[in-house]
């Protein structure tokens, strides 16, 4: 994987805040911004995966009926295994 350059224009106040936050963590501003972007990207991808899983398995908060079967026509990974 290669690297690329991203140039940003920001006001001095924002840069000062970033410098302060990066310094508190012992990081450069560049490293702080990159790690923040990576974390945000991971959070978005993780949330999308959770939503797809919930759509596939249905509402996990719905209570099963007294016979122990999932509500409605939903299928669980353990379907048929007792």
On whether the CB atoms of residues 76 and 70 are closer than 8 A, the answer is yes
For residue range 62-72, list pLDDT tens digits in order: 555 556 555 55
On whether the CB atoms of residues 33 and 18 are closer than 8 A, the answer is yes
Q: What is the percent of the chain where pLDDT is above 90?
A: 33
pLDDT of residue 23: 97
pTM over 0.85? The answer is no
Q: How many residues does the chain have?
A: 82
Residue 81 pLDDT greater than 60, yes or no: no
């Amino acid at each position: 994987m290669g690297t690329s350059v991203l140039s940003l224009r920001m006001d001095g106040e924002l840069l000062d805040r970033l410098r302060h936050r990066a310094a508190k963590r012992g990081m450069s501003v560049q490293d702080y911004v990159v790690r923040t972007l990576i974390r945000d990207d991971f959070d978005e991808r993780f949330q999308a995966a959770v939503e797809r899983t919930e759509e596939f398995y249905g509402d996990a908060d719905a209570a099963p009926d007294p016979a122990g079967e999932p509500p409605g026509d939903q299928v669980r990974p353990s379907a048929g295994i007792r």
